[in-house]
């Protein structure tokens, strides 16, 4: 079972993935403002939320992970490099999660931030902000590193079979999914022949700071549980 959900404010994709037989489910990159919708869908589909998972510390929206963890008594999961509080399970590179017969494998893919992980589930890969559709996640804040991102892309994600479906954490143009083969051929940022050439592109994007950054990053370092720890 698979649902792709969209938050139009931050252009974030959230994924709900469940094993058909056991009904065990995971939610990837949930957005705090959408928490009621997730609860509704989880009830309607009759699935059991075992895990929330953030691909990295987001700068553009607050995660619903901490709240969902309280509501559904599920594991609040991140990659091991995340510094967020209230996380109950931290996955190392290559570590797996089980949902009935489904297996999710963690891949450490730093570059956009130093705590970015991608997650592979059969023929799908959830790439967070490492690989976007016809783009890649910016590398100019939160310990971003364009050379590390080149390595994550070219030596990890793009080595997956070309038919692997790519599901990113964002899209700003209306695309919903892609494949590794499609990105190898048509992603303009990937048409480079060296890490230095890639870094040259990434270091000259001149992007504005994310509007939500000063709110979102501190909140996400608390897994979105801002009310509990808020100081006047
Ligand atoms: Fe991000």
Q: Is pTM beyond 0.75 here?
A: yes
Residues shown for the chain = 232
Ligand 1 midpoint to CA 116 (Å): 8
Share of the chain above pLDDT 90, in %: 94
Ligand 1 midpoint to CA 159 (Å): 22
Ligand 1 midpoint to CA 7 (Å): 14
218-230 average pLDDT score = 82
According to the model, what pLDDT value does residue 230 have?
Answer: 45
Beta strands 124-128 and 131-132 are: unpaired
Ligand 1 midpoint to CA 232 (Å): 27
Task: Take residue 150 and report the two structure tokens written for it.
Answer: 């080149």
pLDDT in tens, 158-189: 999 999 999 999 999 999 999 999 999 999 99
Ligand 1 midpoint to CA 137 (Å): 7
According to the model, what pLDDT value does residue 232 have?
Answer: 44
According to the model, what pLDDT value does residue 220 have?
Answer: 96
Cβ 126 vs Cβ 119: under 8 Å: yes
Ligand 1 midpoint to CA 24 (Å): 27
pLDDT in tens, 21-53: 999 999 999 999 999 999 999 999 999 999 999
According to the model, what pLDDT value does residue 231 have?
Answer: 46
In 135-183 the beta strands, taken as DSSP E runs, fall at 135-136, 165-168, 178-179
- What is the homologous superfamily of the domain 2-220 according to CATH? Ribonuclease Z/Hydroxyacylglutathione hydrolase-like (3.60.15.10)
Ligand 1 midpoint to CA 50 (Å): 24
Ligand 1 midpoint to CA 61 (Å): 9
SS (H, E, C) 73-125: CCEEEEECCCCCCCCCEEECCCCEEEECCEEEEEEECCCCCCCCEEEEECCEE
CA distances from residue 192 to 36, 161, 188, 208 in whole angstroms, order as listed: 43, 20, 8, 24
Ligand 1 midpoint to CA 105 (Å): 20
Domain boundaries, the chain: 2-220
Task: Take residue 33 and report the two structure tokens written for it.
Answer: 């403002």
pLDDT in tens, 107-159: 999 999 999 999 999 999 999 999 999 999 999 998 999 999 999 999 999 99
Cβ 110 vs Cβ 142: under 8 Å: no
Ligand 1 midpoint to CA 139 (Å): 9
64-78 average pLDDT score = 98
């Amino acid at each position: 079972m698979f649902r792709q959900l969209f938050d139009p404010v931050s252009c974030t994709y959230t994924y709900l993935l469940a094993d058909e037989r056991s009904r065990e489910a995971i939610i990837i990159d949930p957005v705090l403002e959408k928490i009621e919708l997730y609860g509704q869908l989880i009830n309607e589909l009759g699935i059991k939320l075992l895990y929330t998972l953030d691909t990295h510390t987001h700068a553009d929206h607050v995660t619903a992970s901490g709240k969902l963890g309280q509501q559904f008594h599920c594991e609040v999961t991140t990659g091991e490099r995340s510094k967020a509080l209230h996380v109950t399970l931290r996955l190392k590179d290559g570590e797996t999660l089980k949902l009935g017969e489904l297996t999710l494998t963690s891949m450490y893919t730093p570059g956009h931030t130093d705590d970015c992980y991608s997650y592979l589930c059969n023929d799908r890969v959830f790439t967070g902000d490492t690989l976007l559709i016809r783009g890649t996640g910016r590398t100019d804040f939160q310990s971003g590193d364009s050379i590390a991102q080149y390595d994550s892309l070219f030596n990890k994600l793009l080595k997956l079979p070309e038919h692997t479906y790519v599901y990113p954490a964002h899209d700003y143009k209306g695309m919903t999914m892609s494949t590794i083969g499609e990105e190898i051929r048509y992603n303009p940022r990937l048409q480079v022949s060296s890490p230095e050439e890639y870094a040259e592109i990434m270091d000259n994007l001149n992007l504005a700071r994310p509007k939500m950054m000063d709110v979102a990053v501190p909140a996400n370092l608390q897994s979105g549980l801002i009310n509990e720890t808020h100081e006047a």
